[in-house]
Amino acid sequence: MAGVTGSALALVVAAAVLHAVWNALTKRGQDQLLFLWCSVTVATLGLLPVGAWLLPPDGVPPDAVPFVVATVVLHALYFWALGRSYGSGEYSLVYPIARGLGVAVVPLLAIPLFDELPSSLGAAGVALVVVGIVALHLVPRARAPGRSLWRPSAATGWAVLTGLSIAAYSLVDKAGVLRLHPVPYIALMGAGSIVLMLPSVIARRGALRHEIRVNWRTILIASTMNLTAYLLVLFAFRLSKVGYVVAARELSIVFSAFIGALWLGEGRLGARLCGAGVVLAGVICIALAR
């Protein structure tokens, strides 16, 4: 049984780079939740005309509607939890938990939902990715020598919620893009998500104006990355197993090791690269799985 194809892996690697970078940009925002809402709004407005053009003549197929509604709700939860995570903890604490839970949960759920039983090499690859993420997560923080990143905190709780929402929307979207083209699918997801989050954004109009005034350039950069990154993943879902694609996305952990250590100053590069190497070994196993 085939694993990740070359085309799917190329899409996922590109998405991993974009994902790690826009998450770091979000962490550097003044208000992470408002930064996320702004960047997703800009990206969605740019994508909606293309999505409308690619929409079937009869509109959204009826069998795709439940998946569109579900992904809207789950992505709104994801953006909310991610914003709260970065608002209460470090990038190098939040990112490994949030991304790692998807790898651990999705392949298990994909077995009964999609009848996707991974090969031995594929299963070993998923296990290596999870082990590598745990190793990265246990690297001591730069500003707290000798203390593990696994210390429970509000950020850990929000990151866990973020990871669970990632696992949930990954499974929904695997089925959704089989019924609707990925571009209109993600355009509808983005539009629905920003509308659901709108009441909380309107309640903080002053902070929103400040975020736009201070970070509008960075918001524009992030907006070209966030939905684009997931759009690449949706195309990859059409080419390969959901468990393999979600696991291979965790290559972003390798890039986040460099970003967290060198750009954000949150940890030791050498220790992080050891964990990242285990993640990379897992990704290679997944790519070669048959």
The predicted structure's pLDDT at residue 268: 75
User: What integer pLDDT is reported at residue 153 of this predicted model?
Assistant: 66
Which band of pLDDT confidence, cut at 50, 70 and 90, is reported for residue 149?
A: very low
pLDDT of residue 95: 84
pLDDT tens-place string over residues 154-201: 777 898 899 899 889 988 998 899 999 988 999 999 999 999 999 999
Q: pLDDT of 214-245, one tens digit each?
A: 999 999 999 999 878 878 888 888 887 776 77
Distance from C-alpha of 79 to C-alpha of 32, rounded to nearest angstrom: 10
Say if residue 247's pLDDT is above 80.
no
Q: Is the pTM value of this prediction over 0.85? A: no
48's enclosing H/E stretch is helix 32-54
More confident site: 246 or 206: 206
Question: Residue 118 — φ and ψ, nearest 5°?
Answer: -70, 150
CA dihedral (183, 185, 188, 190) positive or negative: negative
Helix (H) or strand (E) holding 71, with range, is helix 65-88
Other CB atoms closer than 10 Å to residue 76's CB: what's the count? Answer: 21
Using the CB atoms, write b or e for 187-213: b if 16+ within 10 Å: bbbbbbbbebbeeebeeeeeebeebee
Could you tell me which residue, 106 or 167, shows the higher pLDDT? Answer: 167
**More confident call, 29 vs 130:** 29
> What pLDDT does 9 receive?
82
